[in-house]
Each structure stands twice: as C-alpha cells, then as structure tokens.
C-alpha cells in the first residue's frame, strides 16, 4: 500500500475527513491540500494523527542504531511497528491499531 493511499484511509477513519482527488475536506467548509498532510513523511503530521486517534496508551522507543519501535492501543486494539523513520513507524502503528493492513 502506498503512503498516499494509507494517508487517505487514515484521514477518513482517524481524522474524520472526507477525501477528495486533491484535498481533504475537514468540515465547516475547511479543507487542506493532500500534499500538506503527510503523516508517513512529516513527524508533525504523524503526531497530529496520533493525537486525533486518542490512544489509551502508546510508547515510542529507539535504540542507538536508529531503529524505532512504536506501540499504540486505540479502543482496546493494539498496533505495533518498527522501522527507521519515526513518522512512518508511528503512522503504521496507528493504522494497525485501526485494523488497516500495512506492509511490514
């Protein structure tokens, strides 16, 4: 699954937005271009997604080699991911907790 498709699915399920061809409709006639919200690439957007997901608990751990491990529990469902990119790893863990199949 591409990061663009994953972002669109998470925008709908977690953020509550409507997905258009080139933008996300955020409600109250507000919108943002799709290129502006990229949680798999931008750490700020990944944390925005995490905040909106309102997890019961989460942990983000790293090691000296640059590997990141994220565990998230949302509505009783756990999601985990490991990788070297913080934004992508956070996004994948949230997706797994939301029941979305993502590549390892």
Per-residue confidence (pLDDT) for residue 48, from 0 to 100: 97
Give the model confidence (pLDDT) of 1-27 as tens digits.
899 999 999 999 999 999 999 999 998
Angle CA(16)–CA(95)–CA(99) in degrees, nearest 5? 90
Give the model confidence (pLDDT) of 59-102 as tens digits.
999 999 999 999 999 999 999 999 999 999 999 999 999 999 99
Range of 19's domain? 3-97
Per-residue confidence (pLDDT) for residue 103, from 0 to 100: 81
The answer to whether residue 104 sits within a structural domain is no
The answer to whether residue 20 sits within a structural domain is yes
pTM of the model: 0.93
Give the model confidence (pLDDT) of 46-63 as tens digits.
999 999 999 999 999 999
The answer to whether residue 67 sits within a structural domain is yes
Give the phi and the psi of residue 82 in degrees, each rounded to 5.
Answer: -130, 145
Q: Would you state the structure tokens that stand for residue 84, as one six-digit string?
A: 């070297």
Helix extents (H) in 1-104: 3-13, 43-53, 86-97
Give the phi and the psi of residue 23 in degrees, each rounded to 5.
Answer: -155, 165
pLDDT band of 29, cuts 50, 70, 90: confident
The answer to whether residue 29 sits within a structural domain is yes
The answer to whether residue 10 sits within a structural domain is yes
Cα–Cα dist 89/85, whole Å: 6
The answer to whether residue 102 sits within a structural domain is no
- Specify the number of domains making up the chain: 1
Q: CATH number of the domain that 28 lies in?
A: 3.30.2120.10
């Amino acid at each position: 699954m591409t990061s663009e498709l994953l972002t669109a699915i998470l925008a709908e399920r977690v953020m509550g937005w409507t997905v258009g061809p080139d933008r996300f409709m955020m409600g109250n006639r507000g919108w943002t271009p799709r290129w502006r919200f990229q949680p798999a690439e931008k750490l700020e957007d990944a944390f925005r997604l995490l905040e909106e997901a309102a997890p019961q608990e989460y942990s983000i751990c790293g090691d000296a080699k640059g590997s990141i491990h994220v565990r998230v529990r949302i509505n009783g469902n756990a999601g985990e991911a490991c990788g070297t990119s913080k934004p992508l790893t956070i996004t994948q863990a949230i997706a797994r907790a939301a029941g979305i199949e993502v590549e390892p």
